[in-house]
Amino acid sequence: MGYIQGTGRGQLVLFEEKIDDMISEDHVIRFIDAYVERLNLFSLEIHNIENNIGAPGYNPSLYLKIYIYSYLNKIRSSRKIEKECSRNIELIWLACKLCPDFWSISNFRKQNKKALKNIFKEFLKFCHKLNLLSFDLVAIDGTKMRSQNSLSNIYKKDEIEKTLEKTEERIEEYLVVLESNDKKEQDEYEFLNKNIPQKLKQLEKHKDKLGFVKEIFKENPELERYFANDPDSNFQKDNGRCVAGYNCQSAVDEKNKLIIATNVTNENNDMRQLNNMLEKVNEEKQELEIDKKMLAVADAGYHSEIEIFEAVKDENIDVYIPNPRDVKTKEKQGREVKNKIPTKGYEKENFIYDKENGVFICPKGELLKKSGNVYVKDGIKKQKYQCKKCSSCESFNLCTTNKEGRSIEVSENFEEMEKFREKVKSELGKKIVKKRKELVEHPFGTIKRNLGFTYFMQRGIEKVKAEYSFISFIYNFKRVVNIIGVKKLIEVLN
């Protein structure tokens, strides 16, 4: 049985096939090419990248096309991008057979931080013209992404001296070995001395680095840890692991699950990120000239009294954030925790507030009255309420271990926070909170699993912010192509 035969490598052809004929009419690179060609690069503040002194550089639009294609295809290394430009038929078509060197490709990304953010915003304008955004409901969430900083390059202030001493000891050990080898025969010396000079060089380099880090700790007394590769990064908890990285924030529009605002912080939780993200969403609304009330939802990780009170001041945003006490994992649901004080039925939410008399009423009907003056804790004014009749109560061991009686600590804005909590627990609130996960998990899943972006190529928080904006733009780009299709998108551009 015969097989299908290919064309002989030495076969001459009368008519050469055009590169354009190799790319289908509905291929995404045709939209990349058409979209970038219609961008105003000056308004995006894209800088030119010079090749060599006296030689003309490549058009900045070429670099942008190459980067959009490469990120869509999970390629971020400048060296790999350079290789693909010379062997990938799709990139050869897109770049018209031009092949910038990896250094120029890398410099374009480094020198266009602001432009990469502007491209994200510019594409949102295009999405708005296509009626793909609604701004009716916006879900806010964060995800952790690793930085260019391995755990071995993180130094602690209280351990730097010890690490430096160990390094010096190892250098001394190698020097002793070298000295003893000098007294031996040449043949034996070459065998024993193998790799020792190289190791000594590495240790000396490491010692210099430790000395540099030690000086940084001296100059910055408040600094407890130093991340050598990327000083702006921080420890982040990610799926049970602790990694050096960043906390990436996204606001997702309900209509088509497009990302409408982004931010990157090195804080390892979301407690102070709500208003930062709402402010960025409002900026986008103003740029797109959208003026209407909007629902905003975030998970319990964003629950902060200070942040919530600031957010509810904006009459154009109705915020929904569940209270951490109302959020229980499936493992905890229906499971009693033995020997826990207070036990079920005597927890804080079981104490009823009597607004008229300004007291709390415990499950046994006893009163908890104000105790002491108002004090500030974590930036919030608080008041303590305590019961003086607990010692004679039959439920004492179920309620508290405090010999002075059960006490409750509440904020001065307790009533307003309870109203907010009830709003979130309402039927509408439950539906909105449930919708949140559906909205935010789609972009994060696509970015991390489909596109493979689990770490950053850039170092420093400003460069990282720019890269995350570009990653979010790539997600939106891919999403819009899937929703509308290449041919229709090009028709819109034309």
Instruction: Look up the CATH number of the domain holding residue 264.
Output: 3.30.420
Both 215 and 275 in one domain: the answer is: no
In a domain, 184, yes or no: yes
How far is C-alpha 38 from the geometric centre of its chain's CA atoms? 30
Query: Does the structure show a pLDDT above 80 at 170?
Result: no
Both 427 and 284 in one domain: the answer is: yes
In a domain, 101, yes or no: yes
In a domain, 217, yes or no: yes
Q: Which of 238, 20, 254 is nearest to 136 (CA)?
A: 254
In a domain, 121, yes or no: no
Both 142 and 270 in one domain: the answer is: yes
Q: What pLDDT score does 148 carry?
A: 82
Mean pLDDT of the residues in the chain: 83
Give the burial class of 270: count Cβ atoms within 10 A of its Cβ; 0-12 exposed, 13-18 middle, 19 or more buried.
buried
Q: Using pLDDT thresholds of 50, 70 and 90, give the confidence band for residue 15.
A: low
In a domain, 125, yes or no: no
446: left (phi > 0), else alpha (psi -120 to 50), else beta? alpha
Both 393 and 448 in one domain: the answer is: no
In a domain, 455, yes or no: yes
Both 319 and 434 in one domain: the answer is: yes
Q: What pLDDT score does 112 carry?
A: 87
DSSP string, 236-287: EEETTEEEEEEEEEEEEETTT--EEEEEEE--SSSTT-HHHHHHHHHHHHHH
pLDDT in tens, 94-140: 988 888 888 888 888 888 888 889 999 999 999 999 999 999 999 99
Residue 255 domain boundaries: 134-146+244-328+423-469
259 CB-near residues (< 8 Å, 6+ apart): 250, 251, 252, 253, 443, 472, 475, 476
Q: Using pLDDT thresholds of 50, 70 and 90, give the confidence band for residue 191.
A: very low
Range scoring the smallest mean pLDDT among 1-10, 220-229, 266-275, 373-382: 220-229
Both 222 and 248 in one domain: the answer is: no
Per the model's pLDDT, the better-predicted residue between 153 and 388 turns out to be 388
**Average pLDDT, stretch 361-382?**
85
pTM over 0.75: yes
Q: What pLDDT score does 331 carry?
A: 44
Q: Using pLDDT thresholds of 50, 70 and 90, give the confidence band for residue 446.
A: very high
In a domain, 26, yes or no: yes
Q: What pLDDT score does 245 carry?
A: 87
Both 188 and 208 in one domain: the answer is: yes
Q: Using pLDDT thresholds of 50, 70 and 90, give the confidence band for residue 431.
A: very high
Q: What pLDDT score does 206 carry?
A: 64
Both 389 and 427 in one domain: the answer is: no
In a domain, 337, yes or no: no
Both 172 and 287 in one domain: the answer is: no
Both 314 and 369 in one domain: the answer is: no
**Domain total for the chain?**
4
Phi, psi of 408 (to 5 degrees): -130, 135
Both 107 and 23 in one domain: the answer is: yes
Amino acid at 140: I
Both 24 and 105 in one domain: the answer is: yes
Q: What pLDDT score does 479 carry?
A: 95
